[in-house]
Amino acid sequence: MTNLIARRPLTFSVVAVLIPIVVIKLLDAGVATLGNPDLAGRLVIEVWFAGYVGVLLTRLHWWRRAGFGRPEVPRRLLVTLPLFLLPLIVLAGGGVKSAGVDQQVGFVLFTALVGLAEEGLLRGVVLQALLPTGTPRAVLVSAAIFGLGHLGNILTGSSAPMTAVQVLEDAFLGIAAAGACIYAGTIWPAVVFHTLVDLFDAAGRGFAFPSPQPVTARVLVPIVLTGLCALYGWWLVRRAIRESPVESEA
């Protein structure tokens, strides 16, 4: 597998992301057929997804390389803090709508699994596989893969324009998360950032999954906010390159 990554990092990255996308869509259909509760079924799927990422990292021996450890320079974590303004803005804008305790706890667990699995795959595996091609290129390509990976939302009822907006927003968030990982030297800021954005977004809906919605003028606000996060993430990438004595750009 490491030979494939060395020779075809982009091919490996695309396949590594496509496998869970296909499996998750199939599992979604199976859960719906069985009539399982929405959240319970999604939790089962996310446990599988987290297991897939864990197996992949173990097979590659990439846990440390992926950033699942302490940062070498802990003070760099402080520089990633401005990114956390986004989840706070999401929380302030949507508030916390009432829901049962079981539903709230379930969504905390669900969003934590999503953050861990998606960041582990996209920033822990894909970004690391692409880094030998050059840090800026790796950040942009991994973010594009992350965004395009959400095209499948159109199969679950999202309109084409709304899906395009989601792809753009997620690509922006991918740049932000990658910047945090590269500068901090650990994946944990990206995992927490991702988890909080999803959790606070769900809290504003009463801890419920989003329903398909048409594109309105209101989508400009999240596009602008995630775009600003992407700019800050890109600044973190450039700063990390400047501060690294061994960094070379391809």
pLDDT in tens, 3-42: 889 899 999 999 999 999 999 988 887 766 655 558 888 9
pLDDT of 250: 41
- Sign of the CA dihedral with 143 first, then 131, 85, and 45 last: positive
Residue-averaged pLDDT of the chain = 91
Which residue stretches of 84-187 are H helix?
A: 85-94, 101-121, 127-130, 135-148, 160-184
Cβ distance 134 to 63 under 8 Å?
A: no
Count Cβ atoms below 10 Å from residue 7 Cβ, excluding itself: 9
- What average pLDDT score do residues 85-100 get? 94
Those residues whose C-beta lies under 8 Å from the C-beta of residue 156, and which sit 6 or more positions away, are 28, 212
Confidence of residue 248 (pLDDT cuts 50, 70, 90): very low
Alpha carbon distances (Å) from 14 to 17, 40, 184: 5, 29, 25
Confidence of residue 211 (pLDDT cuts 50, 70, 90): confident
Interval 160-196: pLDDT, tens:
888 899 999 999 999 999 999 999 999 999 999 999 9
Give 158 or 3, the one with higher predicted confidence. Answer: 3
Give 31 or 131, the one with higher predicted confidence. Answer: 131
pLDDT of 31: 66
| pTM of the shown model | 0.92
Count Cβ atoms below 10 Å from residue 35 Cβ, excluding itself: 7
Break the chain into its structural domains and give their ranges.
Answer: 2-243
Tokens read off for 215: 């594109």
Q: What percent of the chain has pLDDT over 90?
A: 72
Q: Please state, in angstroms and rounded to a whole number, the distance separating the CA atoms of residues 82 and 158.
A: 31
Out of 34-38, 88-92, 106-110, 216-220, least confident range:
34-38
Indicate the angle between helix axes 220-243 and 135-148, nearest 10 degrees. Answer: 150
Cβ distance 205 to 93 under 8 Å?
A: no
pLDDT at 158 over 80: no
